[in-house]
Structures are given as structure tokens and as C-alpha cells.
Structure 1
Amino acid sequence: MKMITFLLVGLIVHVIFFLSIFDIYFTSPLVHGMTPQATPLPPPASRLVLVVADGLRADSLFTLLPNGSSRAPYLRNVMEEKGTWGVSHTRVPTESRPGHVALIAGFYEDVSAIAKGWKENPVEFDSVFNETRHTWCWGSPDILPMFAKGASGDHVYTHTYPAEEEDFASTDASRLDSWVFTQVKSFFQLAKSNSSLKASLLEDENIFFLHLLGIDTNGHAHRPMSQEYLDNIGLVDAGVAELVSMVEDFFGHDGRTAYVFTSDHGMTNWGSHGAGLPSETHTPLVVWGAGVHYAHKVTEPQPYSDGYLQDWKLEHLRRVDVNQADIAPLMASLIGVPFPVNSVGVLPLLYLNNSDQFKAESMYTNAIQVLEQYKMKMTQKKEMTLPFLFTPYQLLTESKQAEFIHMARILIQLEKYDNAISLCRSLIAHALEGLAYYHTYDRFFLGCSVVLGFVGWTSYVILVILKTHATLDRHPSLLNERPSHTLARLCVCVTVVITVFLLVQKSPITYYIYCLLPVPVWYSVLKESGTLTDLVRLAPSLPLWKCFGYFVLVAFGIELLVVSFFHRAMLTVGLAVLSLWPLLSGLFSKAKSRSCSWCLGCLCLAAFPLMPVVGREPNVHLVTCAGLLTLFTSACYLWSSQRRAQLHLGDRQQFFTQMIHVAVCAYVPSLTHSSLQQKQGLPLLNQVISWTTLASSMLVPLLSSTRLFHRLLSIFLSLTATYLLLSTGSEALFPPVLSWLMFVWINIEQEAMLAQGVSGRRELSTIDFSANIDITKIRQLKLDDIRRSYFFVFFIITAFFGTGNIASINSFDPASVYCFLTVFNPFIMGGLMMWKVIIPFIIVMCTFETIQVATQLSSRSLFLIVLVISDLMALHFFFLVQDYGSWLDIGTSISHYVIVMSMTIFLMLLSVVTHILTSQRLILWKRSKTHFP
């Protein structure tokens, strides 16, 4: 009962620590209640056409063909004659939803908003569409609804195709774009005979939005270098040319239409996106029409050193790069609607072809719009902070705001437009810095509270280990020790003071949790101070040098794991060091064959962190090889077990059935990818096999014997079959190699116990998971158990990063799930990919469960050490979280902490699942007694 209580408390504490990062770093930056701001002068355009080619890379559009021609001749002609072009720089995550929010609303969504919903609006935000008189949209059902639902009134009209059309196995995904162009053509034809619709179209402040998903779908299915992807660009170019001609004809060539062509994100060479590679963050931007500068020829070098101008043969045309959020104020300025109130974009004036007065007034409007957000944020923070504790942002106090605004108006009135523009840019920069300042105002305070709780919890777990699982004799005078009443009163007083402080400051309810949690945690630590006293008293009799050596090695090992989050190759270094363990510990002379197997297994596994991440080098032939390797190792075990007469008929039949199943699953990916390449779609039989395998993967092992190696083999075969179906290349070899090393680890730990003279050692072949462990034979922890726990944490991290990294985990590559489905569904696909990540975890967890049983340790004792090691890593990453540098650096640092905390919480839950998976058995039919092991 105490163990369950401890696990529940530990789970709650870690969930709180995990959620704290969202309140500290992932809170929505949006504020509400601002007054919309619009430029007072007449706009140059009455309407705007926004075309977003989803998944289009900048280089794919701008790079010329070998013969010197362009695959997008119309847009190339626009760049050279009619409009202004540049590169739109996106932010991570490079996904469709946040990309479109940045384009249309002008701000970058925080991760929590993206996670809460894909089609819905988890937070209310303003957008250019919301400010228009009418907006008509055509395209994907995954993007359009969120802008319609976010708009006030009923003036955003969406036309979407069924979600089933987004099929990666489609013979030609460009039909999605053809559908959009056809619908737009039919729409304008209808408007010619529909007087009310025509009247709405002839009004000003209208936007037509075309979301083209074909390029993105073809990129996922066939890769961006494929003919399908490149031909789709040509189709879009021809469609845009026809669209422009049609729009101009409908409106009588009145010269009042502006056009914006861009993309939400790019794509890697291997068909994924979500991370921060240039191929993902560099998207094209071409703007032309009413109010837009004509192509500007230049002779002098341009201020870009990325080499793209030379590669694209565009040195002679002025390039104007923007941040993706800058496109929203540009569109608002062109048609004269208010800037989105939540926008953080800065109007790119080099795109505008208008008077200096219009540019100055537009920039002034942009500055006031950003300043309104700053003032609202400052007011909210001031109301929630005690006056003597409030520290305003010094560069933009209320007096300096008034000074900026007054000076800008005077400069515009004096027609010193360049000076006014410069001053407004400075005001925007200060306002954005001030927004970040107030958005992170409580970060240090909350961070200190979380760190205090972290340190207290880790200290408490260490004291629990020393008290209940270590050979530590308590002093007789301390056996009946009771917590001091003074300590309890002190904790109550601290709780009251913190609560009153938070009430006065009108703090959110979560602040109470983070600030009050350290109080009971540190009360528990101080209550166990007698254990620490005993440790100090017994220190002279302990092997201090040995203890010091272990802790130094573990500290070094933890640092190695921390660095491995940034550089996967450090896992290779770690595995190379681990391969020397039998030599360094003296086990090599006592178990040469197992030591050699351990060394070889470590070195084989060490090759995986040096390989490219999952998805970069698809090769289904390696998946087949992985299946053959799995069958070979399983056959070797079955043959050896049969020779020793340890395998009974029922188990032998099940293992043979599972091996046949693995052979089928090794062939299904090859058959599936062949069918998709021939554009014949996903075979139904393959889909049935895949989903059946997934559904049964956790149930089939429960039918096997609970004898140690019999159950482990069944688990291995079942999970590997699923993993093969989710693999596209070399990562399929990872589970067999990892399982081989885990098998060797189990065996060599037996030799380690023998070398240390641990009593109660049992033969592995006689161990049954379902048998209750004799409580009297459970031993106390020894120093070497710290090493076992560290090995476990190391292998868990290796299981996570062995075949990928942070970027590859963030990236979306649907090729891994083609055996299951090809129709786009981000949640099902994401769930399948997450299960693929979890499978190596389960293999390591089952091994750790086996070692606990084989070494006669309670499951709680080793897990507590693992908890301490994991918490020390999490605390390290908490200090490494940064709010400066590039957005990618900030997001990556936060991801590291989230991953470690998720891993800790997940391992708590997975340990329960693993225990059931190894020790429980389902009997679907009654067997004869002779078949029981």
C-alpha cells in the first residue's frame, strides 16, 4: 500500500513539474481588448488574392531547369517584370497550422495552442480575414475552418473537399489543386449571373484565399525531388496564370487587385517538415498587382550572403526577405483593413508602391497596433503585481510612449517621412521587446519555486532510499523520533504567507500549486533528517573512496546523457565505454563468452546514433533484412531450448506462429511501397494485416509461458512485427540489435552477482515471472545497483535517440505509416509514430524488470535510483531552458526538458504495464497438464 501511495504522490509531483513548463514558457502571448488600427489614407487595392502553395520550398520554385528555363514560367515573369519577390522566413514548428496563422493573423502560435487543436481555435485571435468585408476560401478542410470559426460575424465563406481526398497513396495528388482552381473558376462564372454575389464581389476590402495542398501531399508521398512534386509546381503556376486572367477579366482590368503568392512551410529532401532546416523554413514570396512595386533591377551586390541569388540566377532583381508574420500587415495595408490586433509583424515597405506619406502613415498604424498590445500587457501585469514589486519596462514607460507617438505625428506633419518611418520602426522594436518582457515577467519567480520543489523532491527520494533500502542502522534514540511541532507550525506559517501573497497579486490557480508544493516536500525532507544524521554517523565505516568513485562516474554519465540530447554521437561514445565494462570490472576473466557478446552488442548498437535520422534514407530492403535477422535469432533460441528440453509443445507452436507472422510483416512494407510506387494504392490485405498486428501486439505475449526467456522472446517477436510495419529503412534493424544486447545484459548481470558474492542467485532458466518473490530473500541495495540503474537510464535514452533526434521527432514523415493508412490524419499518424518510439522503451523496460527479478531486488528500490538519476537530468535541462537566441534554440531547449519529464512520468506508468506484460498470462483454452512448464 505504501508503494502505491508513493508512486501516486511521485506521479502527481512530476505531473506538476511537467505542467509548470507550460505556465513558464508555453503560455499564450495573446492579449485581448485592443482597438483595431487602420491606415487613414485610401488603400491602393480593393481586393487581394492570396495563394498559399502548401509545402513549397523556395529553391524548388526559384531554381532554373538545366536548360535555363523555369518550371514556373508565369511567376518567374512576374518576378522579372510585374512584382517584388523575396524569401519568407518561417519559424519552428514548420507545420501547416502555425504557418497559416503567422501568414494570416501575423503572430506565431505557442506550442500549447498547436497541441490543443488542429482545426479548432484553442485561443481567440484576430486575423486579416476577420477584418475584411468578405473572404472566400477554397482548399483543405484542415486549414480553412479555423479562420472561419475565428471570424466575427458571418463573412468568411469556405469551400473544402472531403478529408478522404488527402490520400498520400493517390495516383496524382495535384488533383487537389486542380479542384481548387476549378471551384474558383465556377465561382466567378456563377457570379456573372448572380447579382447579389456580384455586388458583394465588387465591394472593396475583399480577400480570395486559395489553399493548395497538392505540392505538400506529393512531397510527402514522393519526396520534393520527385517528378510528381516538380510537375505539381508547374500545374500551380499555370493555374495562377489562369486565375489572374480570370480575375482581371471579371473586374474589367481596373488595376485594383493585389496578388500574394507564398507557402506556409518548406520540406526536407526526404519528405518531412516540422523542424528548422533551411529547406523547411525558407519559403517563396511573390507579390504583384495594385499597390506593389514593379520589379526593381539592381546592379550592385545585394545584402544577402546565403548564395541563393547566384544559384537562382536572380542577382539582377531586388530581393526583399520578410519574416512570415510580416505578410499579414502587408495584406492589410494593401486593401486598407485594420491590422490584426494580435499581429507582431512589421510592414515590409519595400513591397509597397505608394506615396511616402502612405508608407509613413502605414508604418505609424503598424506601430500603434503593436503598442496597443504592449499597453494592454503592461496594464494586466501591473494589476496583478503589488505596486512596490512592479518594475516597468524602462525603454517604454508611459512617458516615453507619449513622447514616441507625439514625435512621430509631428514628423509626419512636417513631411519628414523617412524620419517618421525610422522612429516608428524603433517604437515597434521596443514594443515587441516590452511584450516579451511582460510575457516573461513571472518566469524567474516561478522558476525558483519549481527548482526548490525539484531539489526537495530529489532529496526526499534519496533519504527514502537510504532509510528503507540501504543497510543503515538507526540510532536507538532516533527510532521513535517524531516530527517537531515547531517544524509543523513553521510550515503552516509559510503556507499562509505564500497564499496571502498570491491572493493579493490575483495570481492564477496554477501559481498556488507551484509555490505551495515545496512546502510539504521540504517538510517531508526535514522530517527524515534522522536518516541523514545516521549516514553522517556511519560515514567513517563506509568505503568512502568507492562511494566517491561511483558518484563521480554517475555524474559524468549523466552529463554524457545530457550532451547526447544535443549530439546523438555521444551515445556512440557512451556505448563504446560501456563495452569495456567487463574488462574494467574483472568480469571478462570469469565469463569470457558473455563479456565478448556484451562488447560486440554495445559496438553494434553504437553504430545507430551515427546513422542518418529516420526517414532520410528510405530502404525497404533493410526492413526485410531486419525481419530475417529477427527470425534467425529466434530460431537459434528455439533450437537451443529444444535441445535442453525446456520448450513445451504449446509454447513451441506459439513461437512458430509468431515467427511466421514476423516473416509476413517483414514482407508487407516492401509490398506496400511497391504498390504505392506503381500508384495502385494501399492494398486492403496489407492494411488488415497491419492493424491486426498492432491490435494484438500487447495481447499475444500474454498467451505464452511466463518462464523468463520464453515470455521475453514472445514479447520481442510481437513488438518487432509491429515495428517492421512502421519502418522504412535502417531503423528496422534497431530492435533486434537492442534486444540482443538486452539479452546479454540479463545474462552478464548474473555473473556480476556471482562475482560480488550475492547470495540467493538463481539460474535464469528456472525463473518464472508469475512466481511471487520471496520477501525474505529480497536483499538491500548495494553500490553496484547504482550502476545497474544508470545502465537502464542510458539504454532508455539510447532507445529514444538511437534512430532519431529532436528534429526528426518534430518532423512529420507519413511514409512510416503507409502500411496502416495513407489518407492524411495527423492524430492517428502521430499516434502510430509515437507507438513506434515506445516499442524500444518496452524492450528496455522488460529487461529491467527481468534484472530486478533475477537480482532479488524489490521493484521499488532500483526504480527509486532511476528516479533520482532522471530527476537530476530534468533539473539540468530546466536550467538549460533559454528565452534568447533563435526560436529553434529556445524551442529545442524546452523540448529537452519536456522529453525528460515525460520520460520520467511515462516510465512510472510503463513500469506497471511492463509488470503485467511479463507476469500475467491469458489462457484461452484449457491445456492438458503435460503442456504446462
Structure 2
Amino acid sequence: MSEWGSHGGGSPHETEVPFIAWGAGIKQNPVRQDIKQIDVAPFLSILIGNIIPINSLGMLPVEYLDVDNETLMDVLMTNTRQLAEIFQVKHHRTEQNALIYIPYEGATDITIRERFHRLEQLQRTKNVRRFKLESQEFMKFLIEGADYYHNYYQYPILISITIGFSFWICYLILLVLEFHSDIPSKILPRRKHKKNMILLVVYIVTVLTCYKSRFPLTYYFHFLFPIFMFSVIRQKLDLLRMFLATFSNNLGPNLLNLVFYLAGLKIIVYGFHNRLGFSILMLLISTWILSSKTLRENTNPAEKTFWVSCCLILSIFTMLPVMNTKFNIVAYTIGYVAWLLAFTQVYRNNKYFYNKGKVRVNKKSLLVQLTGLIASGVLVILLEKDIMPYYSPQKKWSWVIMTVPIAMVPFSTEFIPLRLASTFFGFVPYYMLVSKNYEPLFLLFYSAFLCVWLLVESKCFLKSKSYTIIYHHKFQEYGDVMKNLDANVFRRAFLFMAMIFLGFFGTGNVASVNSFDPMWVRAFLTLFSPFTMAALIVFKLSIPFIFTCCVFKAINAVGRENVLIIFCIVLIFSDVMVMQFLYLITNVGSWLEIGSSLSHFVMVEVFVMILLLLYGVAHFLTSIKYPW
């Protein structure tokens, strides 16, 4: 339990609890002995005179027992034999089924019998101190051996999955290359049937090996996947040769880019465990506009300064403390006023409302959004200062403030700056209602960086020095064109992915349920309603993602990029991260450590599917129009 009442804490004061026992057979003033949760089962079994559960891997905490020496040695021997039975079952099962058997060091049947014989001798001679010491060492040895055989196939599976993912990433690269090249993918001619027969033999041998080892069905897929991906890549050898030749022709810069992206992905993985990683990432991104020739030549000093400033400011947010339930009126008010000033600046700039005198945006819809923005901040402050009670029926206005500004988005025109401004200001009122700290201020600078990113990429696409060039483009003017593959498309995909992750971690969240505070929705609900609360919280978390997807769609619209190819590149990046998270999965430690290692792997694995869904939402928001 965390300090604010949420589940999922992993610190010692949250995971370590006192163990209290009293009654017959328990010492009144025992020496402190820290135990594990699994040690409770054998302890209770001995106290009530029952057998120890057959699959228990716990060690009896003897310091808590108030029994005579003979009974103490008997219960320790019982615990040791029970653990030895588990060890022997796993040992013999692995020995019989494994194609290549490597025994646990020092764990032969002879050594096991010798150690039991040694314990029996100590028990007969009533050498209690020595018996207790050696039996506990023996039990630790048996537990480690059982764990060794339980995870016997862990490394072969990891290696197989790694090879399979490597082939899969290679296939995605070839797919991107195939789209940007004139060389068709050639299917192998039938005269190479010998190689096909070899692959068939490999398939059969792999299946028979899995069957002989009595693997579960999932293991079959793990070991067959790399073989299948190799057979697929083998049919694209021409593309593979062309890719290697192209890469080697410009080896220095390509290697530099490769190292940069791999380092960036490693930093993102590190950021899942320590948000400081995203501060480092934003510092690296801030240098991109100065180090990249394309970005440097197509931007003016003011745009470079704005890019670097936004990156530096965003890097500060991920160094701030994680989510806190206390309302910070100073940080909240600064963010609230900053959004009002941003709206005023946008509204006063006539270029946002006129496009060469041809299109006029309905200013009334923006004024409605401004009203919602003003009302949201006022309502939150009234609630937090107890001027309006939490059970007030006036909370129903929160739902109006949430829905009406979003409903104003389709009133704006399809020109990119106009629709983006309406989309941003449509969602901000709700975001203000569910914020308690510096989140609104973060979202402002986050949105500012997205805007300058759109401007910079548009100028790179259009080879124009004027920042007003973006005003001529609409979201509907979209059509893929064949282009030569260059490094810029990888930069855009990487920035897209990096901003998505920053949108989550930058507001004080951590990759755990522990970071989601039910008090966020205090302006909407009076009674506990878990499903409604979950929906509102997820909606809040998705707003930065929606902003990023809308801007990314605008970039693709200006550059007429193929969305599927872009997402293939994002999938390449995410799969590289998946391979890193795969080796970070653990089954030891606190529930938070175990659960986080699994959830990180699953989150990144489904990352692209979530992005496709959010991109669909962005497409809806940027294209929908009312019929009147």
C-alpha cells in the first residue's frame, strides 16, 4: 500500500510487514528472524501437526519454534525431505526429457543420499547445532536446484525468441526498403528445392525435439518462429543485398545514426524504471536541430531557440517528484494562466482565422472553448478550497465543461493550424478538471514542442523558409507518393514514439497502477464508481497521446508520407525495446518488481496497436465536420 492509499508500492516499508505469532509451540522472546511469505506454509503446518504442502518451497523458521531438540531435528528433517522430493521430481523429469542434459552442480543422486546420511548421523548423535546448520544449508541447496530445473529451458527459449525477433526486425526493414525501391521482391525459383527440403527437415526435427521434451504448445511456437522468419527473409535476398550495399556506401553516417537510435531506445527503456531517463532523452533531442543538417538548414535562429527551449523545459518535468495527491495551487494556477495566455495569443493572431482571405473560422466555437477553459479552472479551485463541497450537485456542470468544448472541434476548418488549435483547446478544459499539480503546465510546453516540430518538419518537406507555408495545407490533402528512403523518416518515427512515452511519464506517472490517483476525478463524481473513474482516468492519460497523433498526422499530410511504412519503422523501434524488456522480466522480488517487469514487456509489445488506435482517433478529430 502506498502513502496515498493505492496498491502497487515496492519500497521496503510497503513490502515488509511484521510477522506476529503466539501460542503453543512458539517462543515468547525469539531472536528476530526475517522470513519470506513462502516460509509461512511449513511453519503453520508444523504447528498444527499437518504435513507440509507438497509444492511448498518454504524453509521452516526454526527460531520461532519452542520445542525440544529431538522434535526440532524431526521437523527440520521433514522439511528437508519434502524439499528433496520436489527437487528429485524436477531433476528426473528434466533428465528424462532433455535432449541435452546439464545437471545442477553437485546434485547427483549419490551426493543427495550422502547428505541425508550425514544428517541422519548428526540426528543420532544429537548434535543439534550442527544438524540445524547443515539441514538449512541443504534446504537452500535443494531450493536453488529446484529453481534451476524449473527454469532449465529459459535461456534456450530466450535465445530462440531473440533470433526470431531479430529476423522479424530484419523483415520489417526489408519491407520498408521494398516500398522505397524499384526492385521487386523475388520469390525463389523452384530449382532451389534442396534448400526448401532442408528447411522442411529443420521444421520436422524441431517439432520432434519439442515433442520428445514434452514441451507445452507455446514452446513449439517459440522454437519454430525463428525458422519461419528465416524462410521468409530468404525469399527477399535481393532486397537484403541492396540494403547492405546501400548501408555500406555511406557507412560512417549510417553507423552514427544507428548508434544514436539504439542509445535513444536504451534511454527510453531506462526511463521506464527511472523517469530521469526521459530528461536525458529530451536533452539529446534538443541537440538534434543543431546536429542534423536537414533541420539546421531549414530553420531560422528563432525556431532553433524555441525547439531547444521546449526540450530543456520538458526535461525538467521528468525530474520532478512523481504524482502526489496534494493539490498544488501555485503550479496549477501557473499552468491555468499560461493556457489562458496561449489562447489569447492564438485568438489575436489573425493568421489563425484567415487563410489568404479565403477561409474564415467560426470564432464563436473558440470562444465557447475559452469559456470552458475559464470555468474548468474556477471549478477546480472552488473544490480544492472547500468553497464548493465535494458532494455539491453543481458537479454536473463538469460534464458540460468536458463535452461542449470537444464538440466545438468540428466547427473549425480543415486547415492544419486551425484544426489543431481547436483540437488542443477542446481537450484542455477537461484536462484542467482532472489535474492537481503541474500537469497543465507540462501539457502546454508539450503542445508547444509538438507545434514547433510540425513547423520544422513542414519546412523540411516543402523546402521553404517561411513559417506561413503550413497555413496552405489541409488534413484532407493527403496522398502517398513514392520517395527515396532517407534518414529523415526514421527521425520522424523516433520522435513520434519518444513524444508518446514522454506524454505519459512527463506528468508524474510511473508505469504502474500506483500512479493513477482516483482523486483526479473529484470534479465529476461524488460516489465511488470504479468503471467511470477508470474511464475518466484513461481519458486524461490519452490526451497527450491524441495531441501527438494529431500533429503526426499533420506532418504526414504535409509530407504525403505512407502511414503504414511509418508505423513499420515505429514497430521496428518498439520491437528493439521489446527484446530489451524480455531480458528484464523477473520472477523474484516484490510484487511491484515482478509485475512491472511483465507489464513493461506487454505494454511495449502492444504499443503499435495502441498507436494505431490513437491514430484513428486523431484521423477522426482532424477530418470530422458537421453537415451544416
Provide the TM-score with structure 1 as the length reference: 0.60
Mapped to 1, the partners of 2:212 and 2:401 lie a distance apart of: 57
Name the CA distance, whole Å, in 1 between partners of 2:393 and 2:75: 57
Counterpart of 1:245? none
Q: Which secondary structure does the structure 2 equivalent of 1:507 belong to?
A: coil
Residues 273 and 669 from structure 1, CA distance in 2 versus in 1: closer, same or farther, beyond 3 angstroms? farther
Question: Does the 8 A contact of 1:275 with 1:808 survive in 2?
Answer: no
8 Å contact from structure 1 (residues 769, 918) kept in 2: yes
| TM-aligned CA deviation for residue 817 of structure 1 | 4.0
- Take 2:354 and 2:261, find their aligned partners in 1: how far apart are those partners? 42
Pair 1:443-2:150 in alignment = no
Return the alpha-carbon distance in structure 2 between the equivalents of residues 346 and 681 of structure 1.
51
Aligned mate of 1:285, from 9, 16, 19: 19
CA deviation map 1:359-388 (0-9, x unaligned): 3333333334434443444455456x24x5
* Distance in 2, Cα, partners of 1:719 & 1:435: 54
Picking from 742, 745, 754, the partner of 2:450 is: 742
Alpha-carbon distance, 1:616 to partner: 6.8
Structure 2 partner of 1:505: 213
Aligned-pair CA distance for 1:428: 2.3
Q: Please list, as runs of the form range in 1=range in 2, the aligned pairs for 1:495-894 lying within 5 A after superposition.
A: 495-535=203-243, 543-584=250-291, 585=293, 587=296, 590-615=299-324, 618-620=327-329, 622-641=331-350, 644-646=353-355, 651-674=362-385, 682-686=391-395, 688=396, 701=409, 704-755=412-463, 763-771=469-477, 773-775=478-480, 777=481, 779-804=483-508, 806=510, 809-810=513-514, 813-821=517-525, 832-881=536-585, 893-894=597-598
- The 2-side partners of 1:449 and 1:811 are apart by 35
1:375-390 equivalence runs, <5 A:
375-378=88-91, 381=94, 385-386=97-98, 388-390=99-101
CA contact (8 A) 2:390 2:523 kept: no
State how far apart, in whole Å, the 2-side matches of 1:342 and 1:672 are. 54
Residue 76 (structure 1) aligns with: none
AA partner of residue 268 (structure 2): L
Aligned-pair CA distance for 1:885: 8.1
For 2:217 and 2:428, how far apart are their aligned partners in 1? 45
Residues 41-56 of structure 1 aligned to structure 2 (within 5 Å): none
Which structure carries more strand by proportion? 1
Matching residue of 1:422: 133
Q: Does the Cα contact within 8 Å between 1:792 and 1:848 map onto a contact in 2?
A: yes
Provide the rounded CA distance (Å) in 2 between the counterparts of 1:692 and 1:375. Answer: 66
The aligned residue for residue 267 of structure 1 is 2
The 2-side partners of 1:841 and 1:401 are apart by 58
Residues 393-412 of structure 1 deviation map (CA, whole Å, 9 limit, x = unaligned): 34444444444445445544
Q: Name the CA shift for 1:917/1:517 in 2 (closer, same or farther; >3 Å).
A: farther
Q: CA deviation at 1:530?
A: 0.7
Query: CA–CA distance in 2 between the matches of 1:904 and 1:372?
Result: 46
Equivalent position SS for 2:20: strand
1:693–1:805 Cα change, 3 Å: same
> Is the CA contact 1:605–1:738 (under 8 Å) kept in the aligned structure 2?
yes
Q: CA deviation at 1:876?
A: 3.2
Percent same amino acid among aligned pairs? 28
- Number of the residue aligned with 1:490: 198
Q: Report the counterpart of residue 366 of structure 1 in structure 2.
A: 79
Relative to 1, partners in 2 of residues 1:409 and 1:671: Cα closer, same or farther, differing over 3 Å? farther
Contact preservation (8 Å) 2:318, 2:506: yes
Confirm or deny that 1:350 pairs with 2:57: no
User: Does the 8 Å CA contact 2:123/2:131 hold for their aligned counterparts?
Assistant: yes
Compute the displacement of 1:782 (Å): 2.3
* Aligned-partner Cα distance in 2 for 1:556–1:851: 25
Amino acid at match of 1:725: L
Cα distance change of structure 1 residues 431 and 658 upon mapping to structure 2, 3 Å threshold: farther
How far is the alpha carbon of 1:795 from its aligned partner?
A: 1.7
Q: Which of 425-434 and 357-366 deviates more? A: 357-366
User: 2:433 & 2:189 partners in 1: Cα distance?
Assistant: 57
Residues 587 and 397 of structure 1: is their aligned pair in 2 closer, same or farther, counting only changes over 3 Å? Answer: same
Unaligned runs of 5+ residues in structure 2 are none
Cα RMSD over matched residues?
3.7
Q: Give 1:153-164 correspondences, 5 Å limit.
A: none
Q: How has the CA–CA distance of structure 1 residues 284 and 859 changed in structure 2, closer, same or farther, with 3 Å as cutoff?
A: same
Q: 1:720 to 1:365 in 2, by over 3 A?
A: farther
CA contact (8 A) 1:558 1:873 kept: yes
Over 3 Å counting, the alpha-carbon distance change for 1:846 and 1:706 in structure 2 is: same
Displacement of 1:274: 1.4
User: Following TM superposition, by how much is the alpha carbon of 1:527 offset from its aligned partner in structure 2, in angstroms?
Assistant: 0.9
Q: Output the CA distance in 1 between the equivalents of 2:45 and 2:113.
A: 25
Compared CA separation, residues 536 and 572, structure 1 to 2 (3 A): closer
SS in 2 for 1:645: coil
Q: Which runs of 5+ in 1 are unaligned?
A: 1-265, 297-317, 928-933
Q: Does structure 1 conserve the Cα–Cα contact (< 8 Å) formed by 2:352 and 2:418?
A: no
Pick closer, same or farther for the CA change 1:918–1:395 going to 2, 3 Å: farther
Classify the secondary structure of the residue corresponding to 2:414: coil
- Displacement of 1:623 after TM fit? 3.4
- Structure 1 counterpart SS, 2:520: helix
Conserved 8 A contact 2:585-2:594: yes
Size of the aligned set, in residue pairs, is: 622
Are 1:900 and 2:613 an aligned pair? no
In the aligned structure 2, how far is the partner of 1:902 from the partner of 1:479? 28
State TM-score, norm by structure 2.
Answer: 0.86
CA distance in 2, matches of 1:293, 1:580: 65
Contact 1:800 1:837 (8 Å CA) reproduced: yes
Instruction: Compute the displacement of 1:344 (Å).
Output: 3.1
Name the amino acid aligned to 1:790: F
Q: State the Cα deviation string for residues 689-716 of structure 1 (Å, max 9, x = none).
A: 5567778898764565433223323332
Taking the aligned partners of 1:694 and 1:395, their CA distance within structure 2 comes to 67
What's the counterpart of residue 276 of structure 1?
10
Q: Which residue of 1 aligns with 2:40?
A: 327
- The one-letter amino acid of 2:429's match is A
Q: 1:788 Cα shift?
A: 2.0
